[in-house]
């Protein structure tokens, strides 16, 4: 069976402030040139966080905050699907994602349900379709020993699932907030031995997909 690569494309990458149309066009080129199957999960980024914080200020529940975040991920997913000339109908559950994946070479999804993130969605889909590789394309180039803005932070090119989980242990999560890969996603990839690659930059993604040298953190 043809291999599938799952890519979580961060909202911070799709819409840093306004839509990064140039990046989307480059992304289209990279995915079009590749022969494998792809599932792309679009994130919500700053736009989602802005919507979430407005509702949070008004005392909305966590699930309402999540639901408005999900709407933004779906809007971004439709944008990515449109750029890739794919149907506008995006999956809203793992089952729907799997159905589309059976018929299409490329599937684009947004969020699924409150309480998770688009990284969690990517991990759930990877598990459901038996994908072995999960790329988290975000705005940081990988995992560091501590906050990369702090002095003495060192880049980690490769880390085991268990070491990564130790780093996650003290991280607080909530609507619009999570670490580079959240706990739900981290659990699924570990249990199913799905290799995670955290990277940034289109040239880097291209290099990874073509089996060339790239900068990023591999979790396995
Ligand atoms: P993201 O997962 O995209 O989070 O969804 P993010 O922090 O914006 O990540 P990047 O920057 O795109 O990588 C935005 C928010 O939408 C809700 C969560 O509140 C999440 O923080 N969400 C998303 C869900 O509740 N369920 C989902 O399936 C997806």
Q: Whose C-alpha lies nearest to ligand 1, atom 5?
A: 44
pLDDT at position 2: 85
3-class DSSP state of 139: coil
Structure confidence at residue 72 (pLDDT): 98
Contacting residues for 119 by C-beta, under 8 A, at least 6 apart: 8, 41, 136, 178, 181, 182, 184, 185
> Which residue stretches of the chain have pLDDT < 50?
none
* Alpha-carbon gap, residue 197 to 76, rounded angstroms: 22
How far is the C-alpha of 72 from the C-alpha of 178, rounded, in Å?
17
| Ligand 1 in reach of 112 Cβ (< 6 A) | yes
Q: How far is the CA of 56 from the centre of ligand 1 (A)?
A: 15
Confidence at residue 146, expressed as pLDDT on a 0 to 100 scale: 87
pTM for the structure as a whole: 0.96
Q: For strands 143-144 and 155-156, give the pairing.
A: antiparallel
Which residue's C-alpha comes closest to atom 28 of ligand 1?
111
Q: Report the distance separating Cα 6 and Cα 38, nearest Å.
A: 6
Whose CA is closest to atom 20 on ligand 1? 176
CA 45 / ligand 1 centre spacing (Å): 7
Give 189-210 pLDDT, tens digit per residue.
999 999 999 999 999 999 999 9
């Amino acid at each position: 069976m043809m291999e599938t690569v799952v890519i979580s494309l961060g909202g911070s990458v799709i819409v840093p402030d306004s839509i990064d149309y140039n990046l989307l066009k480059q992304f289209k080129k990279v995915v079009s040139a590749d022969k494998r199957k792809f599932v792309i999960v679009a994130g919500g980024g700053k736009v989602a966080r802005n919507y979430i914080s407005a509702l949070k200020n008004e005392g909305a529940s966590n699930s309402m905050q999540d639901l408005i975040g999900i709407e933004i991920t779906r809007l971004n997913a439709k944008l990515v699907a449109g750029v890739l000339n794919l149907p506008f109908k995006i999956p809203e559950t793992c089952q729907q994602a799997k159905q589309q994946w059976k018929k299409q070479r490329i599937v684009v999804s947004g969020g699924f349900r409150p309480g998770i993130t688009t990284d969690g969605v990517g991990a759930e889909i990877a598990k459901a379709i038996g994908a072995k590789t999960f790329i988290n394309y975000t705005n940081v180039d990988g995992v560091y020993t501590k906050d990369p803005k702090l002095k003495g932070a060192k880049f980690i090119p490769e880390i085991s699932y268990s070491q990564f989980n130790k780093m996650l242990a003290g991280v607080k999560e909530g609507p619009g907030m999570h670490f580079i890969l959240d706990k739900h996603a981290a659990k699924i990839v570990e249990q199913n031995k799905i290799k995670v690659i955290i990277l940034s930059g289109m040239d880097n993604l291209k290099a990874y997909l073509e089996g060339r040298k790239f900068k990023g953190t591999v979790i396995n």
